[in-house]
Amino acid sequence: MRFEIDLLRFLVKKRYPCPAPIQRRDNSFIGTYKNKPYAVFNYLEGKHSEDKDNYKLVAAIIGRLHTLTTGQMPVHLVLIPLTILTIFGLLQS
């Protein structure tokens, strides 16, 4: 969860349209309830559209996401099992 929180905070600072994690009173972003982690995010207004030309808007936003995150190093690394990396061809077996 820390990786996602850090990424969203980075994107919010860059004014990318994404939910912002809400900081807790103890200055953390992740709490626990019944031994399970949780985080709270702001609500983003919006509506569903059936417009078939929306792919153009989506492509531009995804392109911006890729540009913003190129070279961005996560503060908290996510450990991915080697088998998953091998399955997706990201690691030679």
Q: Is the pTM of this model over 0.75?
A: no
Q: Does 92 reside within a domain?
A: no
Task: List alpha helices for the chain, DSSP H.
Answer: 2-13, 54-69, 82-87
- For 62-90, what is each residue's pLDDT tens digit? 999 999 988 777 666 655 566 655 655 65
pLDDT score of 67: 92
48 in any annotated domain: no
Residue 16 lies in a domain: yes
| Domain span holding position 24 | 2-43+53-87
Q: Structurally, how many domains does the chain consist of?
A: 1
What's CA 41's distance to the chain center, in Å? 12
Of the two residues 3 and 15, the one the predictor is more confident about is: 15
Q: What is the pLDDT of residue 87?
A: 59
Task: Express each pLDDT in 55-64 by its tens digit.
Answer: 888 899 999 9
